Structure 1
């Protein structure tokens, strides 16, 4: 068992390339989807929760209060395009392509090429209500930024099992 498997912290994968968090502050490959939070281009107080399903590329985009995105009608909106671009920066193109089970032409793959390959399959809009759980994880992620760095355990992380038996 490696050291990170014995610790009570999750292993963090460093980004493939540095990225700016202003446009897409949260992106993850989870629950069979590429999903995340994308800032609105027109209203600083509005964010969109966008997702693309693995394999089918079914997509969803709505505001944080569940209003549908006006641009996600029949095809990927700009928010989903920005999410794909940032996922490629965060995780690397190869990992994102593999996770989404996408078939892209050989050569240099970027977010635009990946989105184009997925659009060519004519994905359908997804009516799932994953937005609430994604936005909730984003808010939890933000809450950890308010903590001052300490080495003491956090009470809400008590569910991790101890690394060795306590006598």
Structure 2
């Protein structure tokens, strides 16, 4: 068995830099996970309210609700402004090709912008989703915020050390 390099023994992973730096005030959290583009979007009218928005890959079923599970008034039959903002920030964070590929949108060889991605999804006539992943997404967002409050260290974090590296037999 080969010896592990120094970085393979750390409790960390390489993080891909964002496609472009993004501003976190409007969309503080966006991810491609669980077969959805999902994120947390700040309310434009109430500083204490956030919306959890999601779009399913493939059929583009969408959901948008507050962190208290109250439905978004703008997501009735089409994408609301929260979903549009989330798509825009996802393109900034991951790049248009990666977002389109994850959502299973055929854009050819061009690098699509957020408006193109939204338009192609809208043309497919998406419907409001019955499944609402708001609690899981909001929980991940809060966990993400907790990690940002930690002091920088090279020491392993106990809760992230579940994937202990295998050691070569001595």
State if a TM-score over 0.5 links the two structures: yes
Change (3 A) 1:5 1:133: farther
Q: Could you say which residue in structure 1 is the equivalent of 2:55?
A: 52
Match of 2:138 among 111, 129, 135: 135
- TM-score, normalised by the number of residues in structure 1: 0.92
Give the conservation status (yes or no) of the 8 Å contact 2:12–2:156: no
Change (3 A) 1:124 1:20: same
Name the CA distance, whole Å, in 2 between partners of 1:32 and 1:10: 22
Q: Could you say which residue in structure 2 is the equivalent of 1:92?
A: 95
Unaligned runs of 5+ in 1: none
CA displacement at 1:162 relative to structure 2 = 3.0
Match of 1:103 among 89, 97, 106: 106
* Deviating 4+ runs (over 4 angstroms): 1-6, 105-108
Unaligned runs of 5+ in 2: none
- TM-score, normalised by the number of residues in structure 2: 0.90
Match of 2:25 among 10, 19, 22: 22
Aligned residues: 167
Name the CA distance, whole Å, in 2 between partners of 1:35 and 1:166: 43
Whichever of the two has the greater Rg, that structure is 2
User: Relative contact order: is structure 1 or structure 2 higher (C-alpha 8 Å, sep ≥ 6)?
Assistant: 2
What secondary structure is seen at the aligned counterpart in 2 of 1:97? helix
Name the CA distance, whole Å, in 1 between partners of 2:13 and 2:23: 23
Name the CA distance, whole Å, in 2 between partners of 1:139 and 1:47: 12
CA displacement at 1:10 relative to structure 2 = 2.7
- TM-align CA RMSD: 2.1
